[in-house]
Amino acid sequence: MSEKALYLQVKESLAEKIKDDEFAIGSYLPTERELCEEYDVSRITVRKALEELEDEGFVVKERAKGVKVINQSIQYIKSALNQYQGFHEKIRNKGLEPMCFLKELEISQLPEKFSNNFSGIEEFYDKQLLLLKRLLGVENKPMIYLKTYLTKETKINVEDYQDGSLYSLIKKKSGKSIAYSRECVSAQISSSKMEELFRVDHKIPILQRTQIGYTKEGKILFFTEAFYNSEIYQHNFLALKYD
């Protein structure tokens, strides 16, 4: 028997069947009980395998219906997002510990720059959103300044965020994950405020990224303005084409 954890064996087997169209997009997987019998494992193991499949974008759980196979393009989009959005996870994967140098919470309206860069967000123009400001980095070096405007879809309140991964908190509070995003990226020279935040005494190149994060149902979870000190932080993109 493989030394790999049982839930991973079940997950990988189901993923292969989905890729091979044994379970077509829009169809439902067998019930938990049926999967337990098929793989001769416990219900806990099956549930963990299904959670992994959902996290990787293969399926979605529908109340009173079952586990539905969804468009696999979501999987690749989500994988790409995880590579460059999860700052805490990305830094820990490199064997380092992320640091938060600044954390502020307030109620605010969405800045005009979002309406200049993105269409279809008119409903948020006059709404009061929870604004989370963070300055993140490693080894006492600030790297990213983030201003994230959270919508009611996240179910996050002022007292909820303490520290750590915001995306994990969104999933914990709302049960929803980020499926895809729309982004606008530009470059600029640092302002005096950015130089103060990043603790430098000279002009530095700043990568500015505005982003809207969506659920797979198309609901907006957040709007983010991110400012990167590109002297010490490299931001990678993965461009994908779908027919």
* 106 pLDDT more than 90: yes
Using CA atoms, how far apart are residues 124 and 241, in angstroms rounded to an integer? Answer: 29
Asked whether residue 242 is assigned to any structural domain, the reply reads no
* 148 pLDDT more than 90: yes
Using CA atoms, how far apart are residues 39 and 29, in angstroms rounded to an integer? Answer: 14
The verdict on 152 and 50 lying in the same domain is: no
Asked whether residue 87 is assigned to any structural domain, the reply reads no
In this structure, are residues 59 and 15 in contact, taking their beta carbons and an 8 Å threshold?
A: no
Q: Quick one: pLDDT at residue 73?
A: 43
Overall average pLDDT of the 129-139 stretch: 92
Mean pLDDT across the chain: 83
The verdict on 115 and 219 lying in the same domain is: yes
What is the pLDDT confidence band of residue 126, given thresholds at 50, 70 and 90? Answer: confident
Using CA atoms, how far apart are residues 90 and 98, in angstroms rounded to an integer? Answer: 9
Overall average pLDDT of the 199-217 stretch: 89
Helices then strands, each counted (H, E), the chain: 8, 8
What is the pLDDT confidence band of residue 241, given thresholds at 50, 70 and 90? Answer: very low
Q: Quick one: pLDDT at residue 237?
A: 53
pLDDT in tens, 36-77: 999 999 999 999 999 888 777 788 787 778 898 875 544 443
Asked whether residue 240 is assigned to any structural domain, the reply reads no
Domain that holds residue 42: 6-70
User: Picking from 29-38, 76-85, 98-107, which range would have the lowest pLDDT averaged per residue?
Assistant: 76-85
Going from the C-alpha of 241 to that of each of 16, 115, 126, 184, 213, the distances in angstroms are 22, 26, 35, 18, 19
Q: What is the CATH number of the domain that holds 51?
A: 1.10.10.10
pTM for the structure as a whole: 0.62
The verdict on 103 and 198 lying in the same domain is: yes
* 84 pLDDT more than 50: no
Asked whether residue 58 is assigned to any structural domain, the reply reads yes
The verdict on 215 and 104 lying in the same domain is: yes
Asked whether residue 19 is assigned to any structural domain, the reply reads yes
Share of the chain above pLDDT 70, in %: 86
User: Kindly report the CA angle at 37 between 55 and 18, in degrees rounded to 5?
Assistant: 40
Going from the C-alpha of 229 to that of each of 76, 122, 195, 205, 223, the distances in angstroms are 28, 31, 9, 7, 20
The verdict on 204 and 113 lying in the same domain is: yes
The verdict on 57 and 126 lying in the same domain is: no
The verdict on 159 and 63 lying in the same domain is: no
The verdict on 109 and 217 lying in the same domain is: yes
Overall average pLDDT of the 109-138 stretch: 89
In this structure, are residues 22 and 57 in contact, taking their beta carbons and an 8 Å threshold?
A: no
The verdict on 66 and 99 lying in the same domain is: no
The verdict on 57 and 129 lying in the same domain is: no
* CA 240 from centre of chain: 17
What phi and psi, each to the nearest 5 degrees, are found at residue 19?
A: -60, -35
* 234 pLDDT more than 80: no
The verdict on 149 and 201 lying in the same domain is: yes
Going from the C-alpha of 169 to that of each of 99, 118, 149, 172, 186, the distances in angstroms are 17, 26, 14, 5, 28
Q: What is the CATH number of the domain that holds 124?
A: 3.40.1410.10
Among 36, 70, 104, give the residue marking a domain's end: 70
When divided into structural domains, the chain yields a total of: 2
The verdict on 105 and 223 lying in the same domain is: yes
